[in-house]
Amino acid sequence: MGLVKRAKLFVFLREKRHEIFEESFQEELSEIYRESRLGRPPVEPARLALATVLQAYTGVSDDEAMEAMVMDRRWQLVLDCLGEDEPPFSKWSLVNFRKRLIEHDLDRRLIERTVKVAKQRGGFSNRRLRAALDSSPLWGAGRVEDTYNLLGHALRKALGVIASRQGRGLAEVAEEAGAGMLAGSSLKTALDLDWDDPDQRAVALSRVLGALEAVEEYLQSGGLSESAEVSPNIETARRVREQDVEEGTDGSPALRRGVARERQISVEDPKMRHGRKSRSVRFDGYKRHVLKDLDSGLVRAVGITRANAPEAMVTEAISRDLRSQGARLSELHIDRAYLSSELVRERTEDLGVYCKAWAVTNAGRYPKTAFELDWDRGRIRCPAGAETDFEVGGVVRFPRKTCAACPLRERCTKSKSGGRSVSIHPDERLLRELRERQRTPEGRAKLRERVDVEHSLAHIGHWQGDRARYIGERKNLFDLRRSAVVHNLHVIARMPGEGRDAIAA
Ligand code: SF4
């Protein structure tokens, strides 16, 4: 059944590839080869782009894609090489195309192209984009290691470069550097200590830090510390020492208590970070963000951030992508994590923000929602009718004397000597609007519209997977963008005029 469903996207791409990769878009794709020796692509760029999209759809590696071009009729149909014994292009061409797409930010244009094709078919306009934004975890591709192994891994990589340059074995070079513990594949086996014993763990840390110093001296004396291949690994080891090690109470090195803010957790992928799905569930890597058009169902923009980055950090990039589509948001459906984003802070008057507001409580006393704000006069009125000025982003303090004489005092403040204070959020007007709105059935129905983007996130996660294919933010953004293209192709295929069962998702 899965194969039949899959086959339908292949058929759709086979039939519509000239529409999706029309001539002007092909020329644009060809531009990425302008500065190359030949000044033109080695292969028709649409074919390379189609193979790139099919890779996302089928989740295959570059080698498997090469094999599919010869062995799989469906790939051959889409790439127009039916019955050929050789792939239509080399693996190098595919890898090089991907690299150039990323360098020229043309993976973003692939999404834009699907939006344009959908627009031509569906006739929707950019004037009123109602969108929902949400994120999900993307576990990193790099191995997450503890401090000992991070240090050992980075040092082993540094010495490995020297060993391969000199045509020697790693063990020999490690011994020569005075860091024999780095010779084997497992640092912990080489240390051969009781890892349950805190004293022995402290000994291990001192020995690994000693190995770092020995390697630094070895590189210095051999004039190798500035080598472009070696120094990044030494820098990584130093960074790990800086972030994870502190001075213990007896002056000896000890593992830092708590986690450093930007803690590097992987040698292979230095951009990965610890993140949280919830208070109790942690993940390591990145977050993928998806902005979905609630009317057309298309994914209009996507973003990748490190797992520890606040959600709000992604919206500048998302706004940029929307601007390049000429799209203008009229509704934005988000969860509270995005409330501090520039999309919300710098919104225009005509943008409606839909988000569940924080519950406001005050330990049984009047919450701040019991205080009325007169925005025109900049005045705040308390439940007893006392008024004073307020400033957005400031804290209002009602006069001590007024509160001292107030019959409602017990229900309002626990301060014995001072007056009641109320903080006014920088976006207090929006927060009040959100609270007002969710009191009505219509408002609550509007809030439920955001759920739609969760379905698309799951859809995209199905193709991209929960674990990143690539190292680093940019390559994973590329992978997310091409997964969004696959999602959008499904949406287009289900549009009127494509037949009811064009593609089952
Ligand atoms: S305690 Fe002060 S702020 Fe509270 S209701 Fe009385 S006068 Fe108003």
**E runs forming strands in 196-341:** 245-247, 253-255, 273-276, 282-293, 299-306, 329-333
d(CA 479, CA 271): 16
Rounded distance from Cα 288 to ligand 1 centre (Å): 46
Phi, psi (deg, nearest 5) at residue 325? -90, -5
Greater pLDDT, 100 or 186: 100
Q: How far is the CA of 378 from the centre of ligand 1 (A)?
A: 18
Among 409, 414, 416, 417, name the best residue to mutate to test ligand 1's pocket (greatest count of ligand atoms within 8 A of Cβ).
Answer: 409
Looking at residue 38, what is its pLDDT?
Answer: 55
Which residue is closest in CA terms to ligand 1's atom 4? Answer: 412
Average confidence (pLDDT) over 410-435? 91
Mean pLDDT of the region 432-453:
93
Residue 499 — very low, low, confident or very high, per pLDDT cuts 50/70/90?
low
**505 Cβ contact partners less than 8 Å away, ≥ 6 residues apart:** 5, 459, 490
Q: From ligand 1's centre to the CA of 426, what distance in Å?
A: 23
Decide if pLDDT at 39 tops 70: no
> What pLDDT does residue 356 have?
92
Residue 405, Ramachandran bin (φ over 0: left; ψ between -120 and 50: alpha; else beta)? alpha
pLDDT in tens, 276-301: 988 888 999 999 999 999 999 999 99
Could you tell me if 52 and 97 are in contact, meaning their C-beta atoms sit under 8 angstroms apart?
yes
How many whole angstroms separate alpha carbon 360 and alpha carbon 366?
Answer: 10
Rg (CA), the chain: 29
Helices (H) and strands (E) in the chain, counts: 20, 13
Give the pLDDT confidence score for residue 207 in this predicted structure. 93
CB distance 411 to 366 below 8 Å: yes
Task: Please give the Cα distance from 505 to 501 (Å, whole number).
Answer: 10
pLDDT tens-place string over residues 460-488: 999 999 999 999 999 999 999 999 999 99
| Residue 169 φ then ψ, to 5° | -85, 155
Q: Which residue puts its alpha carbon closest to atom 7 of ligand 1?
A: 403
How far away, in angstroms, is 175 Cα from ligand 1 center? 76
Q: Cα–Cα distance between 463 and 166 in angstroms, integer?
A: 43
Burial string for 379-408 (b: 16+ CB within 10 Å, else e) reads ebebebebebebeeeeebebeeebbeebeb
Task: Summarize the confidence of residues 44-57 as an average pLDDT.
Answer: 94
302-316 confidence digits (pLDDT tens): 999 999 999 999 999
Backbone angles phi, psi at 247, to 5 degrees: -80, 130
Comparing 30-39, 168-177, 350-359, 458-467, the range with the smallest average pLDDT is 30-39
pLDDT band at 259; cut points 50, 70, 90: confident
**Test site for ligand 1: of 382, 395, 414, most ligand atoms within 8 A of the Cβ:** 382
Selection from 394, 397, 432, 437 nearest residue 415 by Cα: 397
Residue 360 has pLDDT above 90, yes or no: no
393 C-alpha vs ligand 1 centroid, how far in Å? Answer: 21
**With pLDDT > 90 as the criterion, what percentage of the chain qualifies?**
72
Q: Is the pLDDT of residue 431 over 80?
A: yes
pTM of the model: 0.88
Looking at residues 396-421, what average pLDDT do you find?
93
Q: Which CATH class is domain 126-144+276-348+438-505?
A: alpha beta
- Regarding the beta carbon of 422 and ligand 1, being less than 6 Å apart is answered no
pLDDT at 258 (0 to 100): 82
Query: What is the distance in A from the centroid of ligand 1 to the CA of 360?
Result: 18
**Burial call 421-449: b when 16+ CB within 10 Å, e when fewer:** ebebeebbebbbebbebbeeeeeeebbee
Q: Is pLDDT of 504 > 60?
A: no
- Give the pLDDT of residue 4: 43
Distance from residue 370's CA to the centre of ligand 1 (Å)? 11
Mean per-residue pLDDT of the chain: 91
Residue 420: CB within 6 Å of ligand 1? yes
The pLDDT assigned to 351 comes to: 93
Which of 362, 365, 371, 398 to mutate to test ligand 1, by most ligand atoms within 8 A of the CB atom? 398
Map out the domains of the chain as residue ranges: 2-104, 126-144+276-348+438-505, 147-255, 368-435
> Does 498 or 290 have the greater pLDDT score?
290
380 lines ligand 1 (CB under 6 A): no
